[in-house]
Amino acid sequence: MRRVGMLTSGGDCQALNAAMRGVVKCLFYSGEQVEIYGFYDGYRGLIYGNYTMLTSRDFSGILTKGGTILGTSRTPFKTIKDPDPNGLDKVEAMKANYKRLNLDCLVILGGNGTHKTANLLREEGLNIITLPKTIDNDLYGTDMTFGFQSAVDVATNAIDLIHTTASSHGRIFIVEIMGHKVGWLALNAGMAGGADIILIPEIPYDINSVIGAIQKREERGSKFTILAVAEGACSKEFAAMSKKEQKEAIKNSRYPSVSYDIADKIIAATGIETRVTVPGHMQRGGSPCPYDRVFASRLGSEAGNLILQGEYGFMVGIKNREIVRVPLEEVAGRLKSIDPDASIIKEARMLGISFGDE
Amino acid sequence: MRRVGMLTSGGDCQALNAAMRGVVKCLFYSGEQVEIYGFYDGYRGLIYGNYTMLTSRDFSGILTKGGTILGTSRTPFKTIKDPDPNGLDKVEAMKANYKRLNLDCLVILGGNGTHKTANLLREEGLNIITLPKTIDNDLYGTDMTFGFQSAVDVATNAIDLIHTTASSHGRIFIVEIMGHKVGWLALNAGMAGGADIILIPEIPYDINSVIGAIQKREERGSKFTILAVAEGACSKEFAAMSKKEQKEAIKNSRYPSVSYDIADKIIAATGIETRVTVPGHMQRGGSPCPYDRVFASRLGSEAGNLILQGEYGFMVGIKNREIVRVPLEEVAGRLKSIDPDASIIKEARMLGISFGDE
Amino acid sequence: MRRVGMLTSGGDCQALNAAMRGVVKCLFYSGEQVEIYGFYDGYRGLIYGNYTMLTSRDFSGILTKGGTILGTSRTPFKTIKDPDPNGLDKVEAMKANYKRLNLDCLVILGGNGTHKTANLLREEGLNIITLPKTIDNDLYGTDMTFGFQSAVDVATNAIDLIHTTASSHGRIFIVEIMGHKVGWLALNAGMAGGADIILIPEIPYDINSVIGAIQKREERGSKFTILAVAEGACSKEFAAMSKKEQKEAIKNSRYPSVSYDIADKIIAATGIETRVTVPGHMQRGGSPCPYDRVFASRLGSEAGNLILQGEYGFMVGIKNREIVRVPLEEVAGRLKSIDPDASIIKEARMLGISFGDE
Amino acid sequence: MRRVGMLTSGGDCQALNAAMRGVVKCLFYSGEQVEIYGFYDGYRGLIYGNYTMLTSRDFSGILTKGGTILGTSRTPFKTIKDPDPNGLDKVEAMKANYKRLNLDCLVILGGNGTHKTANLLREEGLNIITLPKTIDNDLYGTDMTFGFQSAVDVATNAIDLIHTTASSHGRIFIVEIMGHKVGWLALNAGMAGGADIILIPEIPYDINSVIGAIQKREERGSKFTILAVAEGACSKEFAAMSKKEQKEAIKNSRYPSVSYDIADKIIAATGIETRVTVPGHMQRGGSPCPYDRVFASRLGSEAGNLILQGEYGFMVGIKNREIVRVPLEEVAGRLKSIDPDASIIKEARMLGISFGDE
């Protein structure tokens, strides 16, 4: 009898259910005796022993369903080592519940913060398998994370919808795309949506360059301009600040996000009506796209395979179109950001897309 | 030879092209000699004589295309009678261009503001046919306006996407739906998206009632609540103010819109994380839904028919599923808002939907 | 304590779950004590006593879900009066189960065949409320049935997708749309998808007229033609046959459906490559469109209201945008087909659409 | 001044326009003088000198548009060397038109057949750049072809829609997916749509194994089964035949495609209602998915870059997420099919998916 725990942690995204279904289908189909314990609301469920036993019925029909049947919560890594308000040692509590249930291993689906905690639990002696979930695609050790392509689809649809109004009214539109630290989502949605200017954290922008790009378009007869701006897009001035100065600057800003700041500066310089659209959490929602369903199913299948073989301590990822296992210690705490000299950036520039740094 | 002018005015929306295609297909298919003059960017094109001659080729393939091939602009009715910055009398300029081109009539597609100006031009002796375009569905004299059902689809999709995250994280989400004066869009998208609370301008809300509805859901075990809030939703206090006081209140508010104000009050009262999503102009964009394509085509067809019969001074609308002609003077300046005692409101209440006024 | 039975019968369609959710939400929200008995697989569940008790949890999250949580089956009306293979009197069996469970009433969701049986049960003394479900929109006594608009969306999407290939390759494409007896779906999807020729059961076609319409398009420079053909489209020759001759003709035909027959005749006459696409059961599937979700919820709400008032023997439908109750005996056995002289047909003709009878 | 010819050949698919736009945007944005000659309807336009000069305006707004603005046609490679009905040598005619227009190079977008002809033209001394277009993903030398992922999306949507009916009625459904020679599309759409059985040309099936898989599902309590069957799926008996015998077998079959044959055999063995759905050409149509838009734009960008560098004789493809150039002679005449031992097949089997060969 194998006893497998499972939890989803961090911001929710598409294909979490598809990935869990993959793990469980593989285990049940193997013919071995397996019990699945699902912990609710991320690490919180493991800490406080809030779980349920799951049957194959629970996983029926969830391949196409967004969100996570287990619920999730953000557990900031920083505080996982601190005791909870009642003085409970959270790490010890997780270990205790793991042992109390006599688990063979724990399957954890999550992003960067989640992986730090997962690796900590591995160091504490638990058997851990992780799956790379994030719409940000910023996990080290895998070419791709699930949720990303689905989020690209939602964000691109937002740009497509805005295109209509922008072209009918001859306005400037900024579509703010999720991504505080990396620009994968803004870059791909921007290219897919035909954005003229794409601003990402990895390439600090010069507002005059942004305005110049708009004016050049005007001169060439374009009636409108669309900008895809990552939440974490930053100006060269901001990038040059110390962390402390940056925090101060954000705190003192009168704008809810950088997009509104950019909009105001464009209006001031060009006089053209400039609107901001923020699809926000819509980007995490809805049914996973077919790409993510296949990808998450493959990851889940291989995670199940590792469990059947008793191989632990890995994130299951993808490299060159093949599903691979990556040691957790190589993944935890490392960010996969866009190299400003990457060929996709060069290709985008050759298409005339401005990154605001020319 | 018939000479027909055409323009689209006000905020753009879905099915403008479908409607124009309907008019033109009908005219060209009739076998009569027809010339179509398309004025650019709403009334502005008519004022400044900025137009183009359109052929059947221009209308090929646009049934499914969002926006308007003619461009549009908002021309506030209030100022249409004032001279332009160069002292030009705008109404006289429009009459002059109409006569200079020797037009038989002018087909105008637009919403409330547009219809006021259209009726003014009719009073000035021009032959006018209008088509009811607005995502707000607030035009008097017609059961439905085109653009509305397409906007419902986009707004509902926004709520659907948010549902995933709301249910996975156990949060409160406010989806802000377009509609400053009327709540048709918020009501329909809210009901279609399964919103628990719907706030519309026609039914002023009591914030304590809103919070109470959330708390009742919590007590019954619901982990999350979704609110569909019209841009023009207003509290009972706000509704009781004079117009002047209202303007002052909006000016002094530290919130970009009422949704953020409501969110803050919910957080203060319940302590539950509450997020606001603003799909904004996305609601005007994209390909018209099949309903709007059929509807706009039928309207266009009947408009063409009226032109062939030389019958002018009408808006073409729909009543009880039949396309009808409505005298322009009956339409102009009148708003179609939701009756708080309408049966659809009662039906929604019976489903347990709160309007924040209980 | 109210005891309410519920079943879905006939071909499945979108918004069945939304409608049932509406009924149940209304009943539970009323504060009265209610028990819901769901019978599985249509009348079959009522005949054989195959049912389950449903809680509000079962109806959570199903507003957007296609199909029916109760399952369905086609029970041809003709045989409902005949005993089953084991000699069981089916009508008596249904009455017995109704009484054994001490039901106050039975809510039945279905189309034409379903309504005949529902009315029979009413005549036998059961308390019946029905809801008009069918993608065909052919139920008498209501302007609209739920499922119809969702099916229009799927069928229109099929035509949209085919448009691309048709225009790129310069071919003729026939898209076969569901509808054996009536053409509502083909008419609306055809108009929404920009079909050039629409063939429906209500307007028998002349194949030479169809070919002539294609040739006229060729002469005017059109590179391609799209036909939306209802499953039940029939030629003038076929329409003139006796029922017996028609059956014989269908039996002897070497084509799987009329669309292939038409395709062959077009190829023979024009030499142009002609392809048939059959979206088939796709038209019944997927999440209901926002229109159907609102509509089905309103119907469900009113059905719940009738139950609370103890008013039985009605179908809940819609007339002139208001939810109404219609006596079951007025509905049963009557078909709502398209009047060939209806204004929507005239409007379509004015747009240049051919119905193959010119 | 650079003079660049361009044509699209073979079956149309999504992202052809996006790819051409990429090439042209790159060339125009480079600042060099460029003239673009678009040949109509594939090689036919090059043979008969049917072309147009294209401006940047022609490429505006086509990123999201399906089909090809140049039209396309299938020119079977076998006959390209034969004279046309008027005795014209087609290869010489293409060379003559290329020279007459003084072209620097020719950009050809197409699949397998197209690449054979493209390589022939290269051998004849023309400067050729190709882009890998096909929904089949069967081009050698590139990990991916554009159109494929968009087709996966359409085919998966078809399975999603069918799922509803299959589960409500408890039936067996076969969804026939495009792919005569390779199974990439059926495999990916099948996995994404949650198909239980996937039949592809690369893994010949045993009908008894297929029926056995259905019966095992029945025994485990599954009410329905969905099969994703590639057009080119073949039984072990068929696979063992000689080419001549296969042709004879197809000719003598009374089924329009293998799916109907399989359906009949399943009905005969199980007695369960089994339906076939054929989305057919829908799979080639509609707006390209965001993945394909980015991918095609990157390919186009690199093709433009090669032209600017005067580097010819390559297909531009993708390897390990990087855009690469592949010598045309390595690509032409080679098929990329699925290795039955590929890890994705093993992963699918571990999820319980049957390939009908167990």
Of B25, B290, B300, the CB nearest to C152: B290
Give CA–CA dist C292/A46, Å, rounded.
42
Report chain D residues whose CB lies below 8 A from the CB of C11: 165, 169
Pick the CATH number of D151-284 from 3.40.605.10, 2.40.50.140, 2.60.40.10, 3.40.50.460: 3.40.50.460
Contact C301 B63 (CB under 8 A): no
Contact C72 D169 (CB under 8 A): yes
- For residues C75 and D3, which has the higher predicted lDDT (pLDDT)? D3
Percentage of chain C beyond pLDDT 70 is 99
Residue A62 reports pLDDT greater than 80: yes
- Which of the 8 DSSP states describes residue C140? T
Of C158, C169, C285, the CB nearest to D164: C285
Contact A290 D143 (CB under 8 A): no
The per-residue pLDDT for range A333-345, each reduced to its tens digit, is: 999 999 999 999 9
Give CA–CA dist B328/B326, Å, rounded.
6
Q: Which residue of A has its CA nearest to B14?
A: A164
| Beta partners for residue B227, in sequence order | B174, B197
Report chain B residues whose CB lies below 8 A from the CB of A67: 163-165, 167-168
Contact D343 A320 (CB under 8 A): no
Domain spanning D2-147+288-331: which CATH class is it, in words? Answer: alpha beta
Report chain B residues whose CB lies below 8 A from the CB of C149: 290-291
Give CA–CA dist A177/A91, Å, rounded.
35
Of C173, C256, C284, the CB nearest to D164: C284
Torsion, Cα of D158, D159, D164, D167 (10° steps): 150
Contact B291 C192 (CB under 8 A): yes
Is residue A279 within 8 Å of residue A1, measured between CB atoms? Answer: no
The per-residue pLDDT for range B135-186, each reduced to its tens digit, is: 999 999 999 999 999 999 999 999 999 998 898 988 999 999 999 999 999 9
Q: Which residue of D has its CA nearest to C40?
A: D168
Mean pLDDT of B319-344: 96
Q: Which residue of B has its CA nearest to C354?
A: B29
Give CA–CA dist B68/B14, Å, rounded.
8
Interface test with C, best of D72, D167, D259, D282 (most C CBs within 10 A): D282
Give CA–CA dist D179/D283, Å, rounded.
11
ipTM of the complex: 0.96
pLDDT band at C154 (very low <50, low <70, confident <90, very high): very high
pLDDT of residue D76: 65
Give CA–CA dist A160/D65, Å, rounded.
11
Whether the CA torsion D27, D28, D34, D38 is positive or negative: it is: positive
* Close Cβ partners of D80 (under 8 Å, ≥ 6 residues apart): D43, D90, D91, D117, D120
| Residue B346, min C-alpha distance to chain C (Å) | 9
Q: Is D136 annotated as catalytic?
A: yes
Nearest to C131 by CA among C356, C298, C254, C1: C298
Of B165, B282, B284, the CB nearest to A67: B165
The per-residue pLDDT for range A154-209, each reduced to its tens digit, is: 999 999 999 988 999 889 999 999 999 999 999 999 999 999 999 999 999 999 99
Domain range summary for chain A, segments of one domain joined by +: 2-147+288-331, 150-284
Residue A254 reports pLDDT greater than 90: no
pLDDT of residue B78: 74
Mean pLDDT of B55-72: 94
Of A72, A161, A277, the CB nearest to B168: A72
| Residue A10, min C-alpha distance to chain B (Å) | 9
Same fold, D2-147+288-331 and D151-284: yes
Contact C301 B348 (CB under 8 A): yes
pLDDT of residue B112: 94
Interface test with B, best of C26, C157, C347, C354 (most B CBs within 10 A): C347
The per-residue pLDDT for range B285-309, each reduced to its tens digit, is: 999 999 999 999 999 999 999 999 9
The per-residue pLDDT for range D116-144, each reduced to its tens digit, is: 999 999 999 999 999 999 999 999 999 99
* Close Cβ partners of D195 (under 8 Å, ≥ 6 residues apart): D159, D175, D189, D226, D227, D228, D353
Chains near C with 3+ CB pairs less than 8 A apart are: B, D
Write out the residues of chain B at the interface with chain A, using a CB-CB cutoff of 8 A.
11-12, 14, 16, 41, 66-68, 71-73, 154, 158, 160-165, 167-170, 173, 223, 256, 275, 277-286
Contact D192 A322 (CB under 8 A): no
Contact B168 A68 (CB under 8 A): yes
Query: Of these residues, B136, B138, B261, B292, which one is catalytic?
Result: B136
The per-residue pLDDT for range D78-126, each reduced to its tens digit, is: 788 899 989 999 999 999 999 999 999 999 999 999 999 999 999 999 9
pLDDT of residue C170: 87
Cα-flanking dihedrals φ and ψ of residue A27, to 5°?
-65, -50
Report chain D residues whose CB lies below 8 A from the CB of C284: 161, 164-165
| Residue C179, min C-alpha distance to chain B (Å) | 18
Percentage of chain B beyond pLDDT 90 is 91
Contact B12 A165 (CB under 8 A): yes
| Residue D267, min C-alpha distance to chain A (Å) | 25
pLDDT band at A79 (very low <50, low <70, confident <90, very high): confident
| Residue C229, min C-alpha distance to chain B (Å) | 17
pLDDT band at C76 (very low <50, low <70, confident <90, very high): low
Of A289, A305, A320, the CB nearest to D320: A320
The per-residue pLDDT for range C21-54, each reduced to its tens digit, is: 999 999 999 999 999 999 999 999 999 999 999 9
* Close Cβ partners of B169 (under 8 Å, ≥ 6 residues apart): A11, A12, A71, A72, A73, B224, B273
Report chain A residues whose CB lies below 8 A from the CB of B261: none
What is the reported pTM? 0.97
Q: Which fold has domain A150-284?
A: Rossmann fold (3.40.50)
| Residue D154, min C-alpha distance to chain C (Å) | 9
Q: What angle do CA C231, C235, C236 make, to 5 degrees?
A: 145
Whether the CA torsion D328, D329, D333, D334 is positive or negative: it is: negative
Using N-to-C axis directions, what is the helix angle for A290-309 and D148-169, rounded to 10°? 80
Could you tell me if residue B301 is left (phi over 0), alpha (psi between -120 and 50 degrees) or otherwise beta? alpha
pLDDT of residue C169: 87
Query: Of these residues, A12, A41, A58, A136, which one is catalytic?
Result: A136
Chains near D with 3+ CB pairs less than 8 A apart are: A, C
Report chain C residues whose CB lies below 8 A from the CB of B153: 289-290
- Joined together, the tokens standing for residue D128 give 């050729």
Give CA–CA dist D214/D274, Å, rounded.
11
Q: Which residue of B has its CA nearest to A279?
A: B279
* Close Cβ partners of C272 (under 8 Å, ≥ 6 residues apart): C171, C172, C214, C266
